[in-house]
Amino acid sequence: MQVSKLLLTHCLTAFLHIMDITLRKIEPTDLPWLYKWENDSASWEAGDTHNPLSQKDLLDYIQSSTGDIYKDAQLRLIIDSDSGTAGCVDIYDFDVHNLKAAVAIYIDKDMRKQNIAQKALIKLEEYAFGFLRLRFLYAYVGYKNTASRRLFTACGYKEIATLPHWLINDSLSVFVKLP
């Protein structure tokens, strides 16, 4: 068991370093970043968060996460760049039977417009399509979120549907990418 866990960690680390960014497993030292990002109320409209999260809530999440997508059905990775911690990218709604998953990304306000999101998404796709052998990834993006719409389009995702009035103040677009 320990050998396979070490091998998985080594493979994950090798897959997740590209260009000037690294995607890595979340750690307790990331708590201040998570606290800042998860409590950024400006981003709440784009997701399912409706209230602030406490540091205890987030520490419990970090400690309960195994980092094994097959056990947790999700994987949050921290994006580190040459300039420092830049954000996080999530694979969630992981469906091992149908080999598909959703993806979400958050870049710290101070690190935006540096092409970090695109590099992180490319690296995540290499892991998802290459290592996990997923058949496709999908993303839900608020119709008014032009930055995310541009990101997913630039990375080769196709907008396949719009869900009108899906969010209280916006419609939701569904983007899909095949390997």
> In this model, does residue 141 exceed pLDDT 90?
yes
**161 and 129 Cβ atoms separated by less than 8 Å:** no
> In this model, does residue 5 exceed pLDDT 70?
no
Closest CA to 37 of 104, 92, 109: 109
Residue 47 has what pLDDT?
A: 65
| Residues 18-36 pLDDT 10s | 568 999 999 999 999 999 9
Amino acid letter, residue 90 = D
Nearest-angstrom CA–CA distance, 135 and 99 = 5
Instruction: Using the structure block, give the residue that is written with the tokens 């420092």.
Output: 84
Q: What is the mean pLDDT of residues 139-158?
A: 96
* CA 100 from centroid of its chain's CA atoms: 14
Closest CA to 99 of 74, 70, 122, 132: 132
**What is the tally of structural domains in the chain?**
1
CATH label of the domain that carries residue 170: 3.40.630.30
Print the domain residue range for 122. Answer: 2-177
Residue 167 has what pLDDT?
A: 85
Residue 29 has what pLDDT?
A: 96
| Residues 43-87 pLDDT 10s | 776 666 778 889 999 999 999 999 999 999 999 999 999 999 999
DSSP designation for 101: E
